[in-house]
Structure 1
Amino acid sequence: MAVTIREVAARAGVSVGTVSNVLNDRANVTPDVVARVRAAIAELGYVRNDAARQLRAGRSRGIGLVVLDIGNPFFAAVARGAEQRAAEEGLVVLLGSSEQDRAREDAYLDLFREQRVNGVLVSPASDDLAALERLAASGIPVALVDREAAGSGFASVAVDDEEGGYLATTHLLGLGRRRIAFVGGPLTTRQVADRLAGARRAVGNAPGATLEVHETAGTTVLHGRAAGEELRGRPERPDAVFAANDLVAVGVLQALTLLGGVRVPDDIALVGYDDIDFATAAVVPLSSVRQPAELIGRTAVDLLLRQGNGALPAADAAIRFRPELVVRASTSG
């Protein structure tokens, strides 16, 4: 149950009006009283409600969504699916992009908590889910998007990224490629780590095959281009590249073909991940592992609605879609 301003006032030994003055940063409160009020707020976990007019309904009409990178078309498609499903219920999606930054993610979560949103969808920037646990404890349903967290108690909608990495790498190995390079990062991002784990499993099943890892600071075209330039300049290049997502793959492709004269797939076969529109529009159309992005967004909203209606315990809802390999010219010749 939400902590009230009266409880804060009682804990601090002041009036409700004084607490209001502190919350609104008014100058007519002494520093020691401000300190007492803020200490009471922290102890009780009080969250200011800026959507008071909507309290009768218990919630705002908003659903919070925090993605890792809204510049990635995959997450834009997830958001589109979430918006479509939310609109069917008369709800709106409030979108934030963490840029894989925990502090930025936490700031969005705090904002959504203050706004008393109907629920929060998030693709976490790290394995530390403490902020999400606090959000759920305040009565706001939470679901993980494009991410699983076994044993966390959170509902989740994701694709089996390890299986996706295995599919991509097995495809390259099936073409007779034996010097595989994985390009992507940071490796602390769960999705990247899972895709790499799948690649390692596939290489481990192929005698004579090797896997080298080129960790990047992010998953943009520029990160992929920098990695591709490094690979291109080596005396002994890999004969295949599995990129952590399609943006990285496009960057690698640019560095190899447009800047370096390397033939794809003749010299280096290339597979991406996500199957965004850029994959088909690239100078050499990219083979890629497809994720049902819009369906992920729609399904995640469904999970929130079912939790909010009391029809679904969060711990019972872990939905996992299977990835699909789409073969194009970057591996088929």
Structure 2
Amino acid sequence: MSMKDVARQANVSVGTVSNVLNRPDIVSGDRRVRVEAAIAELGYVRNDAARQLKLGHSRTVGAIVLDSGNPFYAQLVGGIEAAAEASSLAVIAGSTGNREQRERLYLSLFEEQRVRGILLASAGGTDDLVEGIRRRGTPVVLAESARDATGGSSVSVDDIAGGEIAVRHLAAQGRRRLGVVAARQDLRQVADRLHGARRAAAGVGVEIEVLEAEDLTVLAGRTAGEAVVARTRAERPDAVFCVNDLLAVGVLQAFAFRHQIAVPEEIALVGYDDIAFARSTVVPLTSVAQPADLMGRTALALLEEEIARRDAAPRHVSFTPTLIERESTTG
């Protein structure tokens, strides 16, 4: 069905049908009712792709995240979607699995689809592509990075401060031998959290040991935790900081199995992200919280600012993480 079919059925002009679809407030009540009845009877669905070509802009935003299996990114996309809904926009989200090749694929596909703009949580290595996409007219806002070599707007959290917050909290609890469970140190977020942890450890005079995990997942955390359990009591750290909550949940599972290590009596435990599950683990998890929902909303707001004013200077918004204390460190 086309707009011409609807116009013929309702006995109005094609222009009237267009106004009902796009500016119904200027159409008389009788004509609007007739057009809406014709649309329902014929099963007409507007061709939004053609409409976008005519108007020169889209109502769809592309969002690219590192790992859709991580609840932090689900919360980030949720914030984007909530803000988009308020502006009658749609969001298409893709997960790169921390892979540059897949990130490049999504960036190219979203540009080909002529999306309104792209919100990107980047694994790195795609600055050249992002710069080209911006130059060709599609705005890109980095949704989890303060460093934007291509000169666009960005939203980030101070992850160095987050690492410091975790270690200073553990030191304040009297812990002096700290293990940091980390994976994918090539990712900016992980590297910054480690940097902050090391800097805080040096400042408060505690020992720090990096415990390498295979990935940023619960299963990898459980494997790292089992390696700690296998040590003698004298060789174990008295506190563990994990660079995300999924790792921390896995470590906690390893410690809790057969009650091998008491948390926090023997080893205190801190995670990062404060995902919803952190408060309902067998021992509620102390975590460094990022405002994921607010970050998503802010990223979309920055994107809309760029669209409204193409000559506007880029803005960089940075949030400071906060510590949420629970029983895994305070008993």
TM-score, L = length of structure 1: 0.81
CA–CA distance in structure 2, aligned partners of residues 149 and 92 of structure 1: 27
What secondary structure is seen at the aligned counterpart in 2 of 1:199?
helix
Residues 132 and 142 in structure 1, CA contact (< 8 A), matched pair in contact too? yes
Letter in 1 for 2:308: N
Q: What is the distance in 2 between the residues matched to 1:93 and 1:112?
A: 11
Count of aligned residue pairs for this structure pair: 282
Match for 1:325: what amino acid? L
- CA drift of 1:154 comes to 2.1
Give a deviation string over 1:239-281, Cα, whole Å, max 9, x none: 1111011111000000111256100001110000111111100
Q: Does 1:218 align with 2:215?
A: yes
The amino acid across from 1:233 in the alignment is A
- 3-state SS, counterpart of residue 234 of structure 1: coil
Give 1:228's match in structure 2, choosing from 215, 225, 228.
225
Which position in structure 2 is the counterpart of 1:60?
Answer: 58
Matched, 1:306 2:305: yes
- What's 1:293 paired with? 292
Taking the aligned partners of 2:114 and 2:218, their CA distance within structure 1 comes to: 37
2:126 & 2:149 partners in 1: Cα distance? 13
Extract unaligned runs of 5+ from structure 1: 1-49
In 1, Cα distance between equivalents of 2:197 and 2:126:
25
Kindly indicate whether the alpha-carbon contact (under 8 Å) linking 1:164 and 1:324 is maintained by their aligned counterparts in 2. yes
Residues 166-197 of structure 1 show CA distances to partners (whole Å, capped at 9, x for unaligned) of: 00110001111111111122000111111111
Counterpart contact for 1:60–1:115, Cα < 8 Å: no
Provide the secondary structure at the position in 2 that maps to 1:263. Answer: coil
Give me the whole-angstrom Cα distance separating, in 2, the residues matched to 1:56 and 1:98: 32
Give the Cα–Cα distance (whole angstroms) in 2 for the partners of residues 329 and 307 of structure 1. Answer: 44
> In the aligned structure 2, how far is the partner of 1:138 from the partner of 1:311?
12
Q: Percent identity?
A: 49
- CA apart distance, 1:130: 1.7
State the 1:53 CA deviation.
4.3
Residue 3 of structure 1 corresponds to which residue in structure 2?
Answer: none
Secondary structure of residue in 1 paired with 2:204 = coil
Q: 1:173 aligns with which of 164, 171, 174?
A: 171
CA distance in 1 between partners of 2:186 and 2:210 (Å)? 14
Q: 1:63 to 1:227 in 2, by over 3 A?
A: same
- 1:151 deviation in Å? 4.7
Q: CA deviation at 1:87?
A: 1.3
What displacement does 1:312 show?
6.5
Specify whether residues 259 and 101 from structure 1 end up closer, same or farther in structure 2 by C-alpha distance, changes over 3 A only: farther
Report runs of 4+ in structure 1 exceeding 3 Å deviation. Answer: 50-53
Change (3 A) 1:183 1:312: farther
Contact 2:274 2:289 in 1 (8 A): yes
